[in-house]
Amino acid sequence: MSGFLSNLLGKVGLGGGHTSGQTVEQTAAPVIQTDTQMAEESPKKTGKNVLIAMDGSKHALYAFEWYAKNLYHPDDNVIMAHCAEPGVNIPLSSLLAGNPILIEGMLREGDGKLTRTFATIEAAAEKHNIKHVLERLHGPPGEAIVKAADSQNADMIVAGSRGFGTLRRTIMGSVSDYIVHHSKVPVMICKHDDEHVKLK
C-alpha cells in the first residue's frame, strides 16, 4: 500500500485510532499590559435569563440541581416553567361513563398532585437559595416551553432528558426532543449516565 493511501486511511480512522493534541496552556499568571499589547480581561460574568423546564419529575429536578451546581449565577433570572395539563389523567372510559362525582374526584386529585408538584419545586429552589418565578404554562409542553422562552427573552433553556414518562422505548423524552429542535436559544439537556439507578 502506498504511503499516502495508508496515511489517508489513518487519518480517516481506518488504519486504527489516531488523535493529535495541541496544548494551549495558559496559566492564571497576571498579564503585563504594555502600550502595544493589551490583553483582554477575563470574561465578565453577568446574570442571564434562564428558563427551566420543570414538570416536577425526578429528571427535571436533577436538571435543576445540575443548573444550581454548574450554571447558576447570583444575578440570573430564573423562571421555573411548569406545564399543567389538567384532565389528562382521566381515563376516557370514565369521561364517557359520565359520572360527575367520579370526574370531580379525579380533577381534585389532579389538583392535589399539582399542589404537591409546586411544593417540590419550591423546596428545590429554596434548598439552593435561588430566587425564581414560577410560570404556569398551558398547551402541549414542548411548544409552551419554547414559546415562553421566547416571550420571556430567555438566554437559555434547561431541561431534563425526559420527564414523567417511564416508558423507556425512546432514548430521549419527546418534550426535550421538541425543545432542542425548536428552541431559538441554547438548550442544556441534563443527560446522565444511568437514568434509572441514579434517580431512585
The radius of gyration of the chain's CA atoms, rounded to the nearest angstrom, is 24
Total binding residues toward other proteins, as defined by CB under 8 A: 48
Query: Shortest gap between Cβ of 6 and other proteins (angstroms)?
Result: 12
* Lookup: cell for 93: 372510559
Q: Distances from the Cα of 191 to the Cαs of 39, 77, 91, 175, 177, in angstroms?
A: 37, 23, 32, 14, 12
Q: Does 22 bind other proteins (CB under 8 A)?
A: yes
CA 52/CA 35 separation, integer angstroms: 45
Contact status, residue 18 vs residue 159, Cβ threshold 8 Å: no
Q: Does 119 bind other proteins (CB under 8 A)?
A: no
Torsional sign, CA 86, 90, 96, 98: negative
Query: Shortest gap between Cβ of 189 and other proteins (angstroms)?
Result: 5
Which residue of 58, 65, 71, 134 would you call a contact of other proteins, by CB under 8 A? 71
The interface region with other proteins, picked from 3-11, 86-94, 98-106, 135-143 by CB under 8 A, is 3-11
Q: Does 172 bind other proteins (CB under 8 A)?
A: yes
Query: Shortest gap between Cβ of 21 and other proteins (angstroms)?
Result: 5
Largest CA distance in the chain: 83
Rank residues 144 and 179 by Cβ distance to other proteins and give the closer one: 179
CA 104/CA 35 separation, integer angstroms: 76
Residues forming the site for other proteins (CB under 8 A): 2, 4-5, 7-8, 11-13, 17-28, 31, 39-40, 42-43, 45, 48, 66, 70-71, 155-156, 171-172, 180-181, 183-194
